[in-house]
Amino acid sequence: MNPVLPLALALATAVAAGGRLLLWQQSGPQDSGSLLTLLLGESRRAFADQMFLKADGYYHMGNYPSVFDLALPDGKTHMAKESEGHDQHGHSQPLPHHRDWLEAFGHHFRPTGHRHLDGIRDGREILPWLRLSAELDPHRVDSYTVAAYWLRERLNRVPDAEAFLREGLRANPDSYEILFELGRLYAENNRDVPRARAVLELAINKWIHREAAKPAPDTPSYRLILGQLATLEEQAGNLDRALAHYTRLKHFSPQPDAVQKRIDEVLTKMARPK
Amino acid sequence: MNTVWSLAKVVVLEMVRRKDFYVLFILTVLLTGTAGSVNLFNDRSIVRYLKEICLLLIWLSGLIIAITCTARQIPAEREHRTIFPLLAKPVTRGQFLLGKFLGCWVATGMALVLFYLLFGLVSGSRDHQWPVLNYLQAAWLHWMMLGIVIAFTLLGSIVFAAPSSNGTISFACAAGMLLLGRHLNKVALSVAEPLQSLLYTAYFILPHLELFDVRELIIHDAGLIRWDMVTLATLYAAAYGAFFLFGAWLAFRRRPLN
């Protein structure tokens, strides 16, 4: 048999299979064609998680539990909780007891004690890991929201925070978390009420679209968005709108009495003669 | 002692002539420079990630230099048959081993000095702080740790046939201890007997190389380590180094050379 024939057949099969694979790859969801995506493939998501934990480790000044130590029960990092405004983990915890003399000796050679990053000088140090986490996995929404929180709240770098959130929104157009953070930025930093309102209302729509039908929806995020929107409207003098949002919030809040108090305040304001 | 020192000097000179260190040093400079040139939210004063990357590269380079340099010493002497005239002179096998150890250790120490100078420059240029004593402690503890690794690799070069297998095994053991060493007791407590006792015994017997890894303290600008603790760590390293060297001598003293 002519040796050219099997070679030609192999080549034809390779070209056909290659073309088919290319079409299959292009039909899937397209991430950014970055070098990291090319090099690491899907494993980059695991690396992104590690980078995010690294940032949390920096937030704790290097004193961070390993996989062998206690895992966080709700799967959220302390750094992310702080950006959501409810990090209340034990600052006054006693130092961990030492299981043996070797462990006690080892504590002299690594950071111990519960400390957090503080001030502008230290605060910026978590940003490279969050940036890298976002580069590795652009669909990890936490990376954008936490970095934006630190940029605007701690470092007073509002334009950088906005640019990063917009980058995150391009990669995750349905993310109500990013929209909420962007709305906060417009409301609290830029004082741009119409824009903040538009973005927060879009966040509510996205939340309803993504979460409302779920058996266990992400209600804490919904409460945050509603609360932000209600406060914004109250401050802008749109009391009827604020009242509507507070009423919705009361329905979802674990502390309806506190929300009712706000509703009463708004009603009092509305009853005042103009 | 003169004999040991003469042997050590030959090893150091060989290290200076070889390209291993220069390649690793240039790689460290290039990778650190690349990491430093990345634009992170237009902020040029972010420094800790750079310290972390630079120190990681220094630790990797230190391990590679120490293990590859040590692993080839005795096999190379055998292969080139230079071990016969060397031991025919009034040089005991103990002196031979000690000379090789000292040479590799000093050569690695010289490499570390340059690496930590680079680290100090990188860190200081961004951070505008010069905690020289902290860096000295870190470099000293690093060097002590490499002493244990070198002694272990020297023992391996007598036990294992080829430098490549010795290098791989030594690197795997060192990396394993650095990554898992301090968690062995936690793992031991989570398993049933008799595995628990076995793991806990291994935890106490194995040399804890991770004790000497103070990178986190340097990165997060923690204070100085207590000097009595540094002294204890030095004694700990000396004990394990001596133990592995003694083991190497026991294995080498009656071993046929060809």
Contact between B217 and A62 using a beta-carbon 8 Å cutoff: yes
Least confident window among A54-68, B106-120, B146-160, B191-205: A54-68
> Is residue B41 a part of any domain in this protein?
yes
Alpha carbon distance A267, A243 (integer Å):
8
Is A135 a domain residue? yes
Q: How far is CA A121 from the centre of its chain?
A: 23
- The predicted-structure confidence for B30-57, as pLDDT tens digits, reads as follows 999 999 888 888 787 888 999 999 999 9
Q: Which helix (H) or strand (E) holds A17?
A: helix A4-27
Q: Which of the listed residues A173, A203, A226 is the one where a domain comes to its end?
A: A173
Q: Does a structural domain hold residue B257?
A: no
Q: Which of B216, B220, B212, B217 is nearest to B241 (CA)?
A: B212
Of B41, B212, B213, the CB nearest to A160: B41
Q: Are residues A39 and A149 in the same domain?
A: yes
| CATH code assigned at A197 | 1.25.40.10
Quick check: B126 contacting A, CB < 8 Å?
no
**Same domain, residue pair A210 and A129:** no
Q: Which domain holds residue B211?
A: 2-252
Range of the domain at A115: 34-85+101-173
Q: Is residue A182 part of a domain?
A: yes
Pair (A139, A201) in one structural domain: no
Q: How many domains does chain A have?
A: 2
Please state at what angle helix B20-37 crosses helix B48-71, rounded to 10 degrees: 170
Please measure the distance between the N-terminal and C-terminal CA atoms of chain A and give it in whole angstroms.
100
- pLDDT classification of B228: cutoffs 50, 70, 90: very high
Residues A155, A236 share a domain? no
- Other Cβ atoms within 10 Å of A67 Cβ, number: 7
A266 with A167, same domain: the answer is no
A198 and A251: one domain? Answer: yes
The beta-carbon neighbor of B217 closest among A110, A125, A131 is: A110
pLDDT of residue B76: 87
In this structure, are A160 and A253 located in the same domain? Answer: no
Q: Is B204 on the interface with A (CB under 8 A)?
A: yes
C-alpha closest to that of B18 among B59, B70, B55? B70
* Mean pLDDT lowest among A19-23, B18-22, B109-113: A19-23
Tell whether the torsion through CA atoms of A255, A260, A266 and A269 is positive or negative: negative
Same domain, yes or no, for A41 and A130? yes
For residues A39 and A132, membership in a common domain is answered with: yes
**CA B8 to CA B6: how far, in whole Å?**
5
Which among A58, A108, A124 is the nearest to B229, CB-wise?
A108
Left if phi > 0, otherwise alpha if psi is -120 to 50, otherwise beta: which for B101?
A: alpha
CA atoms A123, A127, A133, A138: torsion sign:
positive
Residue at A195 is within a domain = yes
A157 & A230 share domain: no
Q: Of A173, A206, A226, which one is at a domain's C-terminal end?
A: A173
The first and second tokens of residue B194, run together, are 């008799």
Q: What is the DSSP letter of A227?
A: H
Contact A142, A95 (CB under 8 A): no
Query: How far out from the chain centre does Cα B96 lie?
Result: 20
> Token pair of A188, please?
């609290």
**Helix (H), strand (E) at residue A219:** helix A219-236
Q: How confident is the model at residue B173 (pLDDT cuts 50, 70, 90)?
A: very high
Mean pLDDT of chain B: 90
Predicted pLDDT of residue A72:
46
Based on the fold, state whether residues A193 and A242 are members of the same structural domain: yes
pLDDT score recorded for residue B178: 93
The pLDDT assigned to A119 comes to 58
CA A218 to chain centre: 13
Number of domains in chain B: 1
Residue B157, in any domain of the structure? yes
- HEC profile of chain B: CHHHHHHHHHHHHHHHHCCHHHHHHHHHHHHHHHHHHCCCCCCCCCCHHHHHHHHHHHHHHHHHHHHHHHHCHHHHHHHCCCHHHHHHCCCCHHHHHHHHHHHHHHHHHHHHHHHHHHHHHHHHHHHCCCCHHHHHHHHHHHHHHHHHHHHHHHHHHHHCCCHHHHHHHHHHHHHHHHHHHHHHHHHHHCCCCCHHHHHHHHHHHCCCHHHHCCHHHHHCCCCCCCHHHHHHHHHHHHHHHHHHHHHHHHHHCCCCCC
Q: Are A48 and A168 in the same domain? A: yes
Residue B207 confidence (pLDDT) above 80: yes
A93 domain residue, yes or no: no
Domain boundary among A154, A173, A192: A173
Name the 3-class secondary structure at A110.
coil
Cβ–Cβ < 8 Å for A79, A56 = yes
Confirm whether A28 is domain-assigned. Answer: no
Q: For residue B214, is it within any domain?
A: yes
Q: What is the mean pLDDT of each run of 10 residues along chain A (274 residues)?
A: 79 84 66 67 84 87 75 55 55 63 88 70 83 89 92 88 92 92 90 88 90 84 89 85 86 84 84 72
Residue B258 is assigned to a structural domain of this protein: no
Enter the tokens of residue A268.
Answer: 């009092």
Longest dimension (CA), chain A: 102
CB contact under 8 A, A109 and B204: no
3-state secondary structure of A71: coil
- Which residue from B minimizes the CA distance to A158? B41
Taking any CB pair shorter than 8 Å as contact, residues of chain A touching chain B are: 58, 61-62, 66, 68-69, 99-100, 102-103, 105-106, 108-111, 121, 124-125, 127-129, 131, 151, 157, 160, 164
